[in-house]
A and B are shown apart, each in its own frame.
Chain A
């Protein structure tokens, strides 16, 4: 990884900030977000690591991470962050950038019929908002 100050001016960094409303530079890597994340054991990169990657301009790695698709937006991270950063909004922004490019994490026709029949509607509505590209 070659770090460069120039990467901070990247338009995708600006887009992450615009979509999430969060300035990741406030994060000082204390790790409380990761410590409290209930889905951390399903993640390849931890929430604080995702923020760190964006801080150093390496957003492409963050966009490729599996982690962002396992965030449940539970906001435990945001509730505990001492710098009032909302990592869940950053995760959501990364997903949104990909979904707007047409990349999808969930293929609706591939969802088993019994799941569609069983789960409460809100699971599908929320799940589609978070995971289906368009």
Chain B
């Protein structure tokens, strides 16, 4: 299947590992991501000002450009949330819809369905089929699913999964053969953009998440958002400095684990970009799946 794809600004720069691994893994499952020809930043986060339509212009234009296909795939939680919430406004608020569509000079009525790759894996491929394809490849790897906020909330608009007790990442991980480490903070904020104004506050949020996951036995954390990845990965040196029992756990994108499980070319993984290196723990599975070509 081919899906129009909106990478968002971060996947083209700081999170190329997310983009590259997702394209490779999806491609291995015959899902081809057709990047939108003329896209801009979606302006995340979703503009909450109900009295203004300005913040809706960029995301509406992006959605409108996928009108023909009726679907648009995205990977980044920020983009997913922004596009879906904007679409909800377009569908339910005729006055702002008129303002925005007049401004961007494009007709759009909210017909495009924004999809996340995890939804496509669940609904189009099926986790059972994925499990058969992968053959419990990552058996023995203890992974904690970390959702963050923007994939789940507000649940009524996103309809992604249960906001308090989601299961999609757990089912995904189980289909790869991982041992899923459930933990209480899997839906709690990593600190998000507060990292820009008060890094300490964001580090506090991330520390709670990491320590709990590690205490419960997680060897790795899986995420779907470049900012979650940054906050959770980058703060670990600081945590180790003050809490010597914390050994550090790699934070990887779900697409990177999927790519490893499917035996994709390792050049798509870009694990060298991570602060806490996932390669040691994944060494059992790296260097196996790729054909006899030179590895990056």
Instruction: Please name all residues of chain A whose beta carbon is closer than 8 Å to the beta carbon of B8 when the two chains form the complex.
Output: 122
Distance, CA A87 to CA B195, complexed state (A): 21
Name the one of B9, B149, B195 contacting A121, with C-beta atoms under 8 angstroms: B9
On whether the beta carbons of B51 and A19 are closer than 8 Å, the reply is yes
Chain B residues with CB below 8 A from A70, complex form? 194, 198, 201
CB of A18 closer than 8 Å to a CB of B: yes
The docked-state distance in angstroms from the alpha carbon of A89 to that of B157 is 15
- Do A42 and B50 have beta carbons less than 8 Å apart? no
Q: Confirm or deny: B260 has a beta carbon within 8 angstroms of a beta carbon on chain A.
A: no
A97-123 vs B, Cβ < 8 Å mask (1 yes, 0 no): 000000001100001000100111111
Give every chain B residue within 8 A of A92 (Cβ-Cβ). 48-49
- Distance in angstroms from B138 CB to nearest chain A CB is 26
Q: Quick check: is A131 within 8 A (CB to CB) of the other chain?
A: yes
Q: Determine whether the beta carbon of A21 is less than 8 Å from that of B189.
A: no
Question: Which residues of A (61-92) have their CB < 8 Å from a CB of B?
Answer: 69-70, 72-76, 78-79, 86, 88-89, 92
A42 x B14 contact (CB < 8 A): no
| CB pair A129 B197 closer than 8 Å | no
Contact at B153–A76, with CB atoms within 8 Å? Answer: yes
Residues of chain A lying within 8 A (CB to CB) of residue B208: 38
Chain A: residues with Cβ within 8 Å of the partner, total of: 40
Expressed in whole angstroms, the Cα–Cα distance for A50 and B195 within the complex equals 23
Which partner residue on chain B sits nearest A71 by CB separation?
Answer: B194
Contact A72-B49, Cβ < 8 Å, known A41-B204, A122-B44, A131-B197: no
- Cα–Cα, bound, A21→B47 (Å): 12
Give B189's nearest chain A residue, CB to CB. Answer: A74
- CB-CB < 8 A to A39: which residues of B? 189, 191, 194, 201, 205
* Beta-carbon contact of B50 and A19 below 8 Å: yes
In the assembly, what is the distance between CA of A18 and CA of B95, in Å?
A: 14
Chain A residues, Cβ within 8 Å of B187? 76
**Measured CA separation A72–B230 after assembly (Å):** 16
- The answer to whether the Cβ of A124 comes within 8 Å of any Cβ in the partner chain is yes
Contact of A1 with B by CB under 8 A? no
Residues of B within 8 A of A86 (CB): 154
The answer for the CA separation of A126 and B76 in the assembled complex, in Å, is 13
B205 and A129 form a contact (CB under 8 A): no
**Inside 8 A of B204's CB, which chain A residues have their CB?**
41-42
C-alpha spacing A130/B55, complex, angstroms? 12
Would you call A34 an interface residue if the criterion is a C-beta within 8 Å of the partner chain's C-beta atoms? no
Contact yes or no, B76 A122, CB < 8 A: yes
Given A42-B198, A79-B154, A89-B48: A126 touches B192 (CB 8 Å cut-off) = yes
Please list the residues of chain B having a beta carbon within 8 angstroms of any beta carbon in chain A: 8-10, 13-15, 41, 43-45, 47-51, 55, 76, 78, 149, 152-155, 163-164, 187-189, 191-199, 201, 204-205, 208, 226-227, 229-230, 234
A-B interface, 3 closest residue pairs, ranked by CB to CB distance from nearest: A127-B196, A74-B189, A75-B153
26 A-B contacts, Cβ less than 8 Å apart?
A19-B49, A38-B188, A38-B208, A39-B194, A42-B198, A42-B201, A42-B204, A72-B189, A74-B149, A74-B188, A75-B154, A76-B149, A76-B187, A79-B163, A111-B196, A118-B230, A119-B196, A120-B14, A120-B15, A122-B78, A122-B193, A122-B227, A125-B9, A127-B193, A127-B196, A131-B193
